[in-house]
Amino acid sequence: MKLKFARRLTASVLAIAAAAAPLGAAAPVAVNVDASRPGPKISRDIFGQFAEHLGTGIYDGIWVGPNSRIPNVRGIRADVVQALRALHVPNVRWPGGCFGDNYHWHNGIGPQAKRPATLNPDWGGVIEPNSFGTHEYFDFLGQIGSEAFISENVGSGTVQEAADWFEYMTSDKPSTLAKKRAANGHPAPYKVKYLGLGNENWGCGGAMSPDHYVEEMKLYARFTRNYNPVQNGEHAGDNAMKRVAVGWDSGDSDYTEAVMKAWKNKTWSWDIEGLSLHGYTVPNIWEKKGPSFSFGEDQYAKAIGKTLKMNEWVAKQSAIMDRYDPDKKIALFVDEWGIWTDPNPGSNPGFLQQQNTLRDAVLAALNLNIFMRHADRVRGTNIAQMINVLQAMILTDGPKMVLTPTYHVYRMYVPFQDATLVPVSFDAGTYRNGDVTVPRVDAIAARDAAGHLWLALTNVDPNEPARMLVSVPGVTAGSATGEVLTAPTVDSHNSFDRPNTVRPAPYRGSISNGRLRFDLPAKSIAVVRVD
Ligand code: AHR
């Protein structure tokens, strides 16, 4: 499968051979890969996605309806499904976000013509037609080959409403709700791998104090039961549904402390398996975030500097969790992250539409590397958001679709899903711009289930190529081949008219004195398999 990635790329693609890159003044970076000391498993759920009822993320982006001129399967657009299948998306968090705490599931089941039109108060106050509901969500998951992460309504719903939803989705016994599901077209119970116990209840989810949230969360954790007998039900052992409570955001909330303290002293009747962290990269300030395209090196550098805060956020949250849970039973789920810029000029500001550039691809790689380095605690993340919203994989406009630079990083990183982290050490050097100083390069390694060693190398420097000399003691490397992603400028992006400005090209390292030599173009990401 992995080899196919490289083969599929045609010779007409701009080939950037490592040896061809001119070298700047910076010294080569020696990278030591310690293949004898395997690290933790990198959960595939680190590569999860987030799809909220927000702007055109669901409607137009995924759902066009069965009568649309846009090719679709049961209302779900075929081009988007085909593109997403290549990402092996492990899970899709839905229906929100802030929308989740406004969502009432019973509006989204039954015959389409009878579904009520409600409002989407947080995101532009537009009509929510409820055409994409529970059954359509699971149909979409089935089409792209992914799993469910359902965020339930703790803000404006009730414990009973949430319990009923999960009985409706997961019961195999002929309860009235399960029979209703069957009557609506799905006799078999659905599989729900993850349950989100609310969303940002310190903010849009009700501005609850930590203690108030903990009391609510315990009720939802207790009464939202997964009845699916063989898949993610309560008796499914390691496969049992994982409940993710709301934790700290990148600000000053002390939810993590309160939730972990309650968990440490919990009774038998409730439990959680995960805690969330939300952390967005805002290049400038919240009120004036900065453009998503047409920017220069200063905006690039600021965004890179800001995004590396993710390492601090994860480390800080992990340290709190370690105090209550040294065995790391509770997973950290960074279930919203990504770059948040000003909306596209002329777009509805409530729709959070932004372009996606080479900068965002570099930023995605750096964040994925951070998450993988913390794989012992970080066992899930969801980039915000999948289509047409914030740092999207895919942009659509009517029948048109384009893949973003971030999409390409996710596709190149597929081999890291469920691989085993391999420690690497290197002196990254520095890249400076104005008052921003960040590491010049990044590197991560992992071994997949078939035993292949994979490297992901990033050159953050937008001006100078970087030479990386990789040693793998005990391994005689014959070749290192894969792909590289770069483009003319940091704000290069793909548009409907020019969809291939930023796309991967074949790439290979060379062998030099027993080491692998990689000459990375400026502002680039390479993923290679070492054979
Ligand atoms: O992703 C957009 C919004 O950001 C989500 O709805 C919310 O949870 C967060 O504040």
Distance 98 CA to ligand 1 centre (A): 6
Q: What is this structure's pTM?
A: 0.94
Judge if the beta carbon of residue 52 lies within 6 A of ligand 1: yes
Whose CA is closest to atom 2 on ligand 1?
97
Say what the pLDDT of residue 16 is: 37
Whose CA is closest to atom 6 on ligand 1?
97
Strand partners, 89: none
Segment 404-447, tens digit of pLDDT: 999 999 999 999 999 999 999 999 999 999 999 999 999 999 99
The confidence band for 251, taking pLDDT boundaries of 50, 70 and 90, is: low
The single residue of 128, 147, 200, 273 carrying the catalytic annotation is 200
- Nearest ligand 1 atom to alpha carbon 338: 1
Distance 177 CA to ligand 1 centre (A): 31
Judge if the beta carbon of residue 97 lies within 6 A of ligand 1: yes
Distance 213 CA to ligand 1 centre (A): 18
Mutate to test the pocket of ligand 1, among 336, 340, 351, 390 (most ligand atoms within 8 A of CB): 336
What region, left, alpha or beta, does residue 151 occupy, with left being phi > 0 and alpha being psi -120 to 50 degrees?
A: beta
What are the structure tokens assigned to 232, written together?
A: 């993610």
Distance 335 CA to ligand 1 centre (A): 10
Q: Please, are residues 168 and 134 in contact by the beta-carbon 8 Å criterion?
A: yes
Is the predicted pLDDT of residue 15 greater than 70, yes or no? no
Q: Where are the alpha helices (DSSP H) in 325-377?
A: 358-373
Say what the pLDDT of residue 25 is: 62
The single residue of 136, 147, 152, 336 carrying the catalytic annotation is 336
What average pLDDT does this structure show over 499-509? 98
Q: Please, are residues 343 and 284 in contact by the beta-carbon 8 Å criterion?
A: no
Say what the pLDDT of residue 253 is: 61
Segment 457-476, tens digit of pLDDT: 999 999 999 999 999 988 88
Quote the CA–CA distance of 263 and 421 in Å, as a whole number.
Answer: 29
Distance 166 CA to ligand 1 centre (A): 23
Mutate to test the pocket of ligand 1, among 56, 199, 352 (most ligand atoms within 8 A of CB): 199
- Point out the least confidently predicted range of 39-43, 181-185, 234-238, 467-471: 234-238
**Catalytic residue at 52?**
no
Distance 526 CA to ligand 1 centre (A): 30
Q: Which amino acid is at 192?
A: V
Judge if the beta carbon of residue 412 lies within 6 A of ligand 1: no
Quote the CA–CA distance of 371 and 420 in Å, as a whole number.
Answer: 13
Distance 387 CA to ligand 1 centre (A): 14
The confidence band for 261, taking pLDDT boundaries of 50, 70 and 90, is: very high
- Nearest ligand 1 atom to alpha carbon 280: 4
Beta carbons within 8 Å of 531's beta carbon, 6+ residues apart:
452, 477, 478, 479, 480, 481
* 3-class SS of residue 129: coil
Q: Mean pLDDT, the chain, as a whole number? A: 93
Whose CA is closest to atom 4 on ligand 1?
97
Segment 21-30, tens digit of pLDDT: 444 468 999 9
Say what the pLDDT of residue 20 is: 40
Judge if the beta carbon of residue 484 lies within 6 A of ligand 1: no
Segment 70-114, tens digit of pLDDT: 999 999 999 999 999 999 999 999 999 999 999 999 999 999 999
**Catalytic residue at 200?**
yes
Distance 406 CA to ligand 1 centre (A): 19
Say what the pLDDT of residue 235 is: 81
Judge if the beta carbon of residue 199 lies within 6 A of ligand 1: yes
- Nearest ligand 1 atom to alpha carbon 52: 6
Strand partners, 59: 63
Smallest CA-to-CA distance from 53 within 100, 101, 4 is with 100
- Nearest ligand 1 atom to alpha carbon 122: 6
Is the predicted pLDDT of residue 11 greater than 90, yes or no? no
Judge if the beta carbon of residue 200 lies within 6 A of ligand 1: yes
Say what the pLDDT of residue 238 is: 84
Dihedral angle over CA of 169, 136, 336, 352, nearest 10 = -150
What average pLDDT does this structure show over 121-147? 97
Q: What Rg, from alpha-carbon coordinates, does the chain have?
A: 23
- Nearest ligand 1 atom to alpha carbon 336: 1
What whole-number percentage of the chain has pLDDT above 90? 89
Segment 218-243, tens digit of pLDDT: 999 999 999 988 878 788 888 899 99
Using CA atoms, how far residue 52 sits from 56, 192, 274, 394, 510, in Å, is: 9, 17, 20, 14, 44
What are the structure tokens assigned to 231, written together?
A: 């898949």
